[in-house]
Amino acid sequence: MAERRRSVWRPGWRSVATWLFVLLLASTASAAEEGPTVQLLDQGLNTLWVLVAAFLVFFMQAGFGMVEAGFTRAKNACNILTKNFLDYCVACIMFFIAGYAFMFGTGNGFIGWTGFFMSGAENPSSVQPWAFWLFQAAFCGAAATIVAGAMAERMKFPAYLIYTAVVSVVVYPIVGHWIWNSGGWLAKMGFADFAGSTVVHSVGGWISFVGTIVLGARIGKFSPDGRPRVIAGHSIPLASLGVFLLWFGWFGFNPGSTLAVGDGEAISRIAVNTNISACAGAIVAMVAVWVFFGKPDLSMTMNGCLAGLVAITAGCNYVSPAASILIGAISGVVVVAGVALLDRIRVDDPVGAIPVHGMNGLWGTLAVGLWGQKSYGLTNDGLFHGGGLTQLGVQALGTLTVDLFVIAVMGAVFLAIKHTMGLRVSAEEEMRGLDIGEHGMESYAGFQVFTTT
C-alpha cells in the first residue's frame, strides 16, 4: 500500500464495508427505541471491560512466574515455573467446581453453598455471568500463586499441588465470601477491600508466612550464628520483566474491580491511583535501601513497586491520587523493613512475598481507614477525612481476622502434609536442584550453571 501514491482517494473494500456497517448501526439505533439499545450497549461495554480486565489479571501469572524464576537459582527454575503454571490451572478448575459457589453462593455470613459446578450460580454483578466468573477465577489464581515464591527451592511439587487445591477451593473463597459477598459478615460491617489487598494479597502473603515457617529455610541461607547469607537470584532481567508484567496486569486488577465503565471517572482515577502508588513505593524503597545499605538495589526497588501496588489495591477506589502517593511511599518503607525483619527472625523468603503481599496487604487495608472517603463510596470517612476511627477499626478487625484465619487453617494443612507425604525435598535433591529431582529436566540445558551455594 505504501508504494502506490494515490492522488485520488479510492475506497478499498474494507473502508466501504466499515462505512456500511456504521450506517447500518446508526439506522437501527435511530429506528429502534432509545431504552433497550442503550442498555444493551451498556451491558456489552461493561462485560467487555470485565473480560479485558480478566485477561490482564490472568497475564499477571506470567509476571509472577518471571519474578519467581528471576529471584531464585537457575537449578530450580523449571520447578518454580511448573508450580506457577499448575497453580493457575488447578485454581481455575477448583474455582469452577466449588470455589465460586463457596464465595458467591447464597448461604450465611461465613460461607456460601449454592452454585456448585456453576449450575444455578449467583451473579452479583451486572455483567455477563461468565465474564464475572473468569475475572474472579483469575483473582483466585493470583492469590494461590503468591505462595510459590515464598516456598521456592525446597518444597515438594506434589505437596504444592495439594496446597493449591485447598487454597483455591476453600480458603480463598471463604475469605472472599466474608468480604465480597454482600451477605458476608465483614461486608455487612462496612469493611472495604476494593480489589483485594486482604482477599488476595494478605491471604497469599500470610499463608506464605506460615508455610515458610513450617517448611524451614533453604540449606545455607542462615549461617550457624544466625546471620543471613545471600542466595542470589539468577536473573535480574527476568525478575524485572516480571515486575513490569505484574504492574501492567494490575491495570486490570484494580480498575476492573469496578465491574462497570460508567462515565469513566472511577476507572480512570483507580488506574492513576494504582500507577502512582507503585511509583512512590519504588522510589521510597530505593531511597531506603540506598540510605541503609549503601547502594540502590534494583531487586528491593522492584519489591517496593510491588508493595505500592499491593497497598493501593484495597483503597484504589476510595482514595485520591494524592493519598495514593502517600500510601505507596509508606509501603516502600514497610517492605524494606519487612525484609530486614524476616532475616532477623530467620524466615527465609526468596522473593519477598511476605513483606510485599502479607505486610503491605495489611497496610493497604488499614490505609483505607485513614484516607478513604465517603464521597467515593466508602461506608464511613477515613480518619484523615473527619470520620474518626470507625472505618479504621473495621478495617483492622477484618484484616487481622482474615490473617489469623488463613494462618491457622493453612498452618494445620501444611503440618498435615509435612507429617504424611512430607513437605520438603531431601537435602541432596535441594543441593542438586529441584529441576532434576522433581522434574527430571534442566531449565538451561547446554548452559554452564555455576553456583557455589
Partner 1 sequence: MKLIIAYIQPHKLNDVKRALFKAEVHKMSVTNALGCGAQKGYHESYRGVQFEVNLLKKVRIEIGVNEDFVERTIEAIIDGARTGQLGDGKIFVLDLPECIRIRTGERGGEAIG
Give the nearer residue to partner 1 in terms of CB position, either 219 or 271.
219
Give the separation between CA 381 and CA 387, rounded to whole angstroms. Answer: 4
Give the shortest CB-445-to-partner 1 separation in angstroms: 8
The DSSP 8-state label assigned to residue 6 in this structure reads: P
| Minimum CB–partner distance for residue 129 and partner 1 (Å) | 38
> 201: closest CA among 264, 150, 159, 128?
150
Nearer to partner 1, 396 or 431 (CB): 431
Q: φ, ψ for residue 363 (rounded to 5)?
A: -60, -45
Distance CA 16, CA 26 (A): 15
Supply the minimum distance, in Å, between the C-beta of residue 150 and partner 1.
23
Q: What residues does 155 pair with on adjacent strands?
A: 424
Cβ distance to partner 1 smaller for residue 117 or 444:
444
User: Long-range contacts: 284-290, Cβ < 8 Å, 24+?
Assistant: 284/328, 284/329, 284/330, 284/331, 284/332, 284/333, 285/332, 285/333, 285/335, 285/336, 286/332, 287/332, 288/332, 288/333, 288/336, 289/336
Cβ closer to partner 1: 220 or 377?
220
**SS3 of 296, please?**
coil
Among 419, 407, 423, 406, smallest CA distance to 159 is for 423
Identify which of residues 113 and 444 has a Cβ nearer to partner 1 in the complex: 444
Smallest separation (angstroms) from partner 1 to the CB of 79: 14
Write down how long the chain is.
453
Supply the minimum distance, in Å, between the C-beta of residue 223 and partner 1.
10
**Min CB(87)–partner 1 separation in Å:** 22
State the first-to-last Cα distance of the chain, in angstroms, to the nearest integer: 58
Take residue 252 and report the three cell numbers written for it. Answer: 486490570
Taking the C-alpha atoms of residue 453 and residue 451, their distance in angstroms, rounded to an integer, is 5
Compute CA 267 distance to the chain's CA centroid, rounded to the nearest angstrom.
18
Instruction: Return the number of the residue (59 or 222) whose C-beta is nearest partner 1.
Output: 222
Minimum CB–partner distance for residue 452 and partner 1 (Å) = 5
Q: Which is nearer to partner 1, 28 or 451 (CB)?
A: 451
CA neighbor of 423 nearest in space, from 219, 151, 204: 151
Task: Please give the residue ranges that form the binding site for partner 1 (CB under 8 A).
Answer: 220, 428, 431-432, 436, 440-442, 445, 448-453
Which class for 256: exposed (0-12), middle (13-18), buried (19 or more C-beta within 10 A)?
Answer: buried
Please state the closest distance from residue 216 (CB atom) to partner 1, in A: 18
Rounded to an integer, what distance in angstroms lies between the CA atom of residue 398 and that of residue 185? 9
Q: How far is the CB of 434 from partner 1 (least distance, A)?
A: 13
CB of 244 to partner 1, least distance (A): 30
Instruction: Give 2 or 445: the residue with its C-beta nearer to partner 1.
Output: 445
Give CA–CA dist 220/228, Å, rounded.
Answer: 9
Residue 435 phi/psi, 5-degree rounding, is -55, -45
Nearer to partner 1, 30 or 452 (CB): 452
* Bridge partner list, 222: 228
Task: Rank residues 42 and 442 by Cβ distance to partner 1 and give the closer one.
Answer: 442
How far apart CA 438 and CA 380 sit, in angstroms, is 51
Tell me which amino acid residue 317 is: N
Place of cell 477525612: 385
**In this complex, which beta carbon is closest to partner 1, that of residue 234 or of residue 385?**
234
Phi, psi of 151 (to 5 degrees): -100, 25
CB of 74 to partner 1, least distance (A): 12
